Structure 1
Amino acid sequence: MNICSSPLLGRQILIFAVGWLAYASAYFLRKPIGVVKTDLESELSFTKSQLGLLDTALLLPYAVMQILLGPVGDKFGPRKTFGICLLFAAVSMASFGHWSNLYVFLFLLFFNGTAQALCWPSCMKIIGEWYPDKIRNTIFGTFGTCAFAGGVLGTGIAVYLQTTHGWRSAFLTPSIFVGGMGFLILMFFHQPSEVGIEVPGKDQSNSRKSSGQQLSLLQLWKIPMLPEIAIAVFCLKAVRYCMYMWLPMYLLNQLKYSKVQAGMFSTTFEIGGVIGSAAIGIVLDKLYAGRPLVGTCFSCFLSSVALILFLITGSWGMTFNSVLLFLAGGFNCGPDSILGGSVPAELGEMEGRNAAAATVGLVNGFGSVGTFLEGPIVGIISTVFGWTGMFYFMIGLSLLGTFSVFRASIIKARRERQIPDPVALNEELL
């Protein structure tokens, strides 16, 4: 190994490890509220509607503030933004267990969701700067496992604290840990330019000096391929949260699983997501080098196929159910860090824009809107059309996501051939 590359390798390992742990820890402050809902209902007499408001108070600002405040990471620096937002999120939830008032809970969750909204865009901006373009998707795909692993760990920690010390203790310890990670981010999560290290293998045409002008939301939305990517992420996230929130009930009521079996087998989808996220980046860099959108398009389509087969073979038993749920999870969750991180970050840095955090925030925020819209929509569909209607809805969304990624790949190919987009050309002429 060239001795000159040693400082770079050490920094790359440090950045990946600290960033992975920090973003995974953010889920330690999202998951407890779902775990303690039964305690809030029994001890504080909260209604189902009030419990639903708690979810909205967290998820709504998380989605909207990513769209509106994503450029903050570009303007003030992703390291400071990421670290400070983790500290704010930790402060917001540290005292949660000491209150019993619904409106205080809603305020704290809103503050938590707003702070966490800026973490992913800032994190993606720095991760994208530290690695060569040829392994970009491998890094983003592997790094994306932090979200799924963080969700599992966050639930486990919350359950342990709840059962051991009571529900009010499920917030302070995670808050202390997240606050500690915030300080580590501020200390170590530097950009290459901050420590004077040049990363070889980066496309310098995308690194021209920015004019410093902050792009508006409309200007960001007009970046070629970005609307298609945002729509695809919306569809994939909506399907994913449908499975998270409704799959156990489907297994219990429709397929007649026991409560234990329904809870256990529903995690097969999430396990597939962890493995899919790690695997897809490697596959894209090996088989679809320079064409990541083509590979993610296939992944989205195969997720649709897996859902169709699961619906058809639902009565065939647990073995078939588990395999197809695993595949659906892998193909659905796999593209998440690529479409919600790698691709928009690259688009945000093209042509000297210096808007990686803004574009990632716009795409991931737009996609996160699907996480809180799916609940009432699926509730209505399942009531009117039954469980089959819910699966038709998810399959339709997954196919729409496939089409959106396919369209983005066509736009990319057209631009690479330097053939003008007729739609854009007509708009310019008008």
Structure 2
Amino acid sequence: MQFMKIDLKNPLQRRQVLVFSVGWLAYASTYCLRKPLGVVKTDLETELLFTRTQLGWLDTALLLPYAVMQMILGPLGDKFGPRKTFGVCLLLSSVSMITFGSWGSFSIFCFLLFLNGSSQAQCWPNAMKALGSWYPDSVRNTVFGLFGTCAFAGGIIGTSLAVWLQTSYGWRSAFLTPSLIVGALGILVLLFFQQPEEVNIEVPGKVQATPSKTSKTSNISTWELIKIPMLVEIAVAVFCLKAVRYCMYMWLPMYLLHQLEYTKGQAGLFSTMFEIGGVLGSAAIGFVLDRCFRGRPLLGTTFSAAASALSLFLFMVTGSWGVFFNMIFLFLAGAFNCGPDTILGGSIPAELGDADGRNAAAAAVGIVNGFGSVGTFLEGPIIGMIATLYGWSGMFYFMIVVTALGSFAVFRASVIYARQPKSIPDLIPLTDEEMV
């Protein structure tokens, strides 16, 4: 592909590499402050005597503000720029968690997790806004898919780092080092995450939307965003996929430990197989959509979500068959669940937000991911209750049904898209010349 031919002597391509690399590392680092909570839950249960319901509410304390603040504060990135917004949010996230391991109070834990979730809420929308401004419309799906690997690679890194700190120095040490890493990357974002207009570089191959006479640039209301065709369906799909993903993030280590009798270290590390699948799925989906679903990318993501539901079912029924089968179906579930995330939660809503001169990419991404993240904080108490009343099999049946609903929502969005004029650049596949 053309964008893969990198010439670092070219100012545009040099900046593209810099922004992509800094953004990838910075967003990946946010998971270093999300994943330790899932890893240390067993310690909180045994040492601090927290109940499973309380552990579920800790998830909510982190993920509720993450969801709500994305929707409320989405326009900040459109107003102040993604570099400042992203960088400051990373620094605030770092400060909020640096003392987490020093406490033992459920209330203080909830408060610090609330601050962390609020701080991280604007990281993804602004990473998407910045990335979209640097690449031609014809390669957005593939670029966004590759960038999306940062979320799942970050999850692997975050879990592995937390497991190592937990087993080497105790669970209380699992938050200090990640906080320092996130703070350092926040500084790098403030220094190097410029937009094309900030460095006077023009990006060829981008369709410049004509401002609408009725649009309120950078001040578009939430209701006006919601009325954009397909946005609600995409938000519902992201809701379902994220709810299931965070069920796996927050509860899979405990499931492997108690149900499949892995050791504590094995459970923490093996749970990353879901995210390893996510890395491959995210990296591959843009290319697959452009090659195999030309003009029908939403239909492709429908199949991906449906395949994730099937993989979860197979993981559940083959759980007692051993590590090999656990690994295969966990990997496939992660690939098919995580693959569509950057397309549904980044590329498409960003393009919809900027269409007709709205200049609302960050706000649109915030709406979709904010609503999607409602699923992430609801999963905590719901899964805690389901696991208590119906056991671990009840948790998996819940995830399978929710994933199937997500697949249906994407299918409905694809039907709406088929009825719309083909004027959304992000949804238009690459030409044969561009694919060479």
Question: CA 1:378/1:89 → structure 2, altered by over 3 Å: closer, same or farther?
Answer: closer
What is the one-letter code of the residue matched to 2:176? Answer: L
Aligned equivalent of 2:249: 244
1:19-74 C-alpha deviation (Å, 9 max, x unpaired): 00111111222223344445555665655554444322211111111111111111
Unaligned segments of structure 1, at least 5 residues:
419-430
Aligned equivalent of 1:220: 225
Aligned equivalent of 1:329: 334
Question: CA 1:283/1:390 → structure 2, altered by over 3 Å: closer, same or farther?
Answer: same
Question: In 2, distance between residues paired with 1:315 and 1:79?
Answer: 48
Matched-pair contact (CA < 8 Å) for 1:300–1:332: yes
Aligned equivalent of 2:83: 79
Question: CA 1:326/1:49 → structure 2, altered by over 3 Å: closer, same or farther?
Answer: closer
Question: CA 1:390/1:185 → structure 2, altered by over 3 Å: closer, same or farther?
Answer: same
Question: CA 1:28/1:391 → structure 2, altered by over 3 Å: closer, same or farther?
Answer: closer
What is the one-letter code of the residue matched to 1:300? Answer: A
SS in 2 for 1:370: helix
Match of 1:179 among 183, 199, 210: 183
Aligned equivalent of 1:422: none
Matched-pair contact (CA < 8 Å) for 2:39–2:268: no
Aligned equivalent of 2:292: 287
Aligned equivalent of 1:199: 203
What is the one-letter code of the residue matched to 1:71? Answer: P
Question: CA 1:54/1:129 → structure 2, altered by over 3 Å: closer, same or farther?
Answer: same
Match of 2:312 among 287, 295, 307: 307
Aligned equivalent of 1:12: 16
Question: In 2, distance between residues paired with 1:96 and 1:236?
Answer: 29
Matched-pair contact (CA < 8 Å) for 2:92–2:116: yes
Matched-pair contact (CA < 8 Å) for 1:134–1:289: no
Q: Cα distance, 1:251 vs. partner?
A: 5.2
Q: Cα distance, 1:322 vs. partner?
A: 2.8
What is the one-letter code of the residue matched to 2:111? Answer: F
State the percentage of identical aligned residues: 67
Q: Cα distance, 1:416 vs. partner?
A: 1.5
Matched-pair contact (CA < 8 Å) for 1:79–1:122: yes
Matched-pair contact (CA < 8 Å) for 2:144–2:286: yes
Aligned equivalent of 1:297: 302
1:89 matched to 2:87? The reply is no
Question: In 2, distance between residues paired with 1:235 and 1:287?
Answer: 25
SS in 2 for 1:405: helix
Q: Cα distance, 1:157 vs. partner?
A: 2.3
Question: In 2, distance between residues paired with 1:46 and 1:387?
Answer: 19
Q: Cα distance, 1:253 vs. partner?
A: 6.0
Matched-pair contact (CA < 8 Å) for 2:35–2:249: no
Question: CA 1:207/1:332 → structure 2, altered by over 3 Å: closer, same or farther?
Answer: farther
1:329-378 C-alpha deviation (Å, 9 max, x unpaired): 11111001111111111111111111111111111111111112223333
Question: In 2, distance between residues paired with 1:2 and 1:333?
Answer: 27
Aligned equivalent of 1:119: 123
Matched-pair contact (CA < 8 Å) for 2:144–2:347: yes
Q: Cα distance, 1:83 vs. partner?
A: 0.6
Normalising by the residue count of structure 2, what TM-score does the alignment of the two structures yield?
0.86
Q: Which moved more, 1:401-410 or 1:44-53?
A: 44-53
Question: CA 1:319/1:50 → structure 2, altered by over 3 Å: closer, same or farther?
Answer: closer
Question: In 1, distance between residues paired with 2:292 and 2:178?
Answer: 40
Q: Cα distance, 1:16 vs. partner?
A: 0.5
1:32 matched to 2:11? The reply is no
What is the one-letter code of the residue matched to 2:417? Answer: K
Unaligned segments of structure 2, at least 5 residues:
424-436
> Number of paired residues?
417
1:411 matched to 2:416? The reply is yes
Aligned equivalent of 2:368: 363
Question: CA 1:137/1:88 → structure 2, altered by over 3 Å: closer, same or farther?
Answer: same
Matched-pair contact (CA < 8 Å) for 2:233–2:409: yes
What is the one-letter code of the residue matched to 2:97? Answer: M
Match of 2:344 among 336, 339, 360: 339
Question: In 1, distance between residues paired with 2:6 and 2:26?
Answer: 30
Question: In 1, distance between residues paired with 2:207 and 2:310?
Answer: 36
Normalising by the residue count of structure 1, what TM-score does the alignment of the two structures yield?
0.87
Q: Cα distance, 1:120 vs. partner?
A: 0.6
Matched-pair contact (CA < 8 Å) for 2:38–2:253: no
Q: Cα distance, 1:315 vs. partner?
A: 5.3
Question: In 2, distance between residues paired with 1:67 and 1:326?
Answer: 31
Aligned equivalent of 2:426: none
Coordinate RMSD, CA, aligned: 2.9
Aligned equivalent of 2:153: 149
Matched-pair contact (CA < 8 Å) for 2:56–2:384: no
SS in 1 for 2:375: helix
Question: In 1, distance between residues paired with 2:110 and 2:262?
Answer: 34
Q: Which moved more, 1:92-101 or 1:24-33?
A: 92-101
1:396 matched to 2:401? The reply is yes
Question: In 2, distance between residues paired with 1:308 and 1:53?
Answer: 26
